[in-house]
Amino acid sequence: MEPLYEEYLASHGTIVKPYYWLSFSLDCSNCPYHIWTGEEARVPYTEFYQIFGFPYGPTYPPTKHLTFYELKTSSGSLGQKGHASSCTRNDTHPESMLFEVNGYLDSAVHNNDRIRHVILYSSNSPCNEANHCCISKMYNFLAKHPDITLSIYFSQLYHTEAESPASAWNREALRSLASLWPQVTLSPISGGMWHSLLSNFVSGVQGATVFQPILTGRALADRHNAHEINAITGVKPYFTDVLLQAKENPNITAQAALEGYPLNNVFPRQSFQVPSGQLPPNLTLDPRVPVVFVLVPYRDLPPIHVGPSPHKPRNSIRHLNMPQISFQETGDLRKSPIGMPVKRAEITGQFASSKEADEKRKKKGKN
């Protein structure tokens, strides 16, 4: 069957019509070229901020959607990078374009049999609404390419809030998609991943600007996304836990902040041995205050080789609950528990040889 797209060579990559019948339109500033590859895929910083909500936090309502992607080999080397933008004229999401049957991504993977991992960095989580069917198309793509793994990172959740008419439908679709682990992973963008996006997909950003601090408004949104996607799918995502930097005391150390800031806000059942629900007096919730990182997301995960059944991990490991040991007890693990007499014996070569001689004498006596 003939492909749906048309691709044209540009100076630093290619530009693609995801559907060959698209044409220039006053109703969509991106038409007809919604997919850009290579260095052509870079977008201006202003557009990145408006759509992804970096560094200050999400911008509402999300009128435009943008998805960056990377195609990687089994060794982790980059085969191709690009971006796909939504079409406001036809109301089409970028994921719907990318994962179309006989579409651009389907063809790119078919023509390069070394590709084993597809990574998406999306402004919004994928939906499965009737006009888009993003998640259904992902399912079809993964069924067609069972040796491909898919990692999806998003800036904000799309139509999953209770007041959205499509909330139940989208939440169920996300839950079903997450159940394909380890073939599929679904996580919010956070921490150092923001810097990677600036470096690889945003134009006009150089030097220290690439590593600008993550502000509190953005960090709190990422934590909220981590909590929500866990509540929806039951799968804890990779995310960066962050600490607020003291506004009154800019010289506060990360360790000092760690001792005072509650790290169990995202997953309340996890205990980090710090008070919950309160901030120390020298820390404030200012959305423009930089944050200090504690955990960095494991971004460059090697592609997971999926077996015949992608719905379950190949090996199951059962972890036993170990008895809790205080830091004082771990100081000397050689000490025996109180009340238990211990007899220490030292075995030497002489002792072992005398024991063997006794055994031989016993055997002779029996004969």
Nearest to 213 by CA among 187, 240, 174, 237: 240
Pairing of strands 149-156, 184-188: parallel
The string of DSSP letters for 74-125 reads: TTS-EEEEEEEE-BTTTTB-HHHHHT-TTSHHHHHHHH-TTEEEEEEEEEE-
Tell the burial category of 2 from Cβ atoms under 10 Å away from its Cβ (0-12, 13-18, 19+): exposed
Contacts of 179 (CB under 8 A, 6+ apart): 233, 311
Q: Which amino acid is at 339?
A: G
Three-class SS of residue 236? coil
Gap between the Cα atoms of 218 and 190, Å rounded: 9
Q: Which of 7, 40, 95, 346 is an active site residue?
A: 95
Phi-psi region of 99 (alpha: psi -120 to 50; beta: other; left: phi over 0): alpha
C-beta of residue 193 within 8 angstroms of C-beta of residue 297: yes
95 belongs to the catalytic site: yes
Pair type for strands 35-37 and 13-17: antiparallel
CA separation, residue 248 to residues 150, 217, 285 (Å):
43, 18, 12
3-state secondary structure of 7: strand
- What are the two backbone dihedrals, phi and then psi, of residue 135, each rounded to the nearest 5 degrees? -70, -35
Question: Who's near 99: CB < 8 A, 6+ residues apart?
Answer: 105, 106, 134, 137, 138, 140, 141
Q: Which residues are annotated as catalytic? A: 95
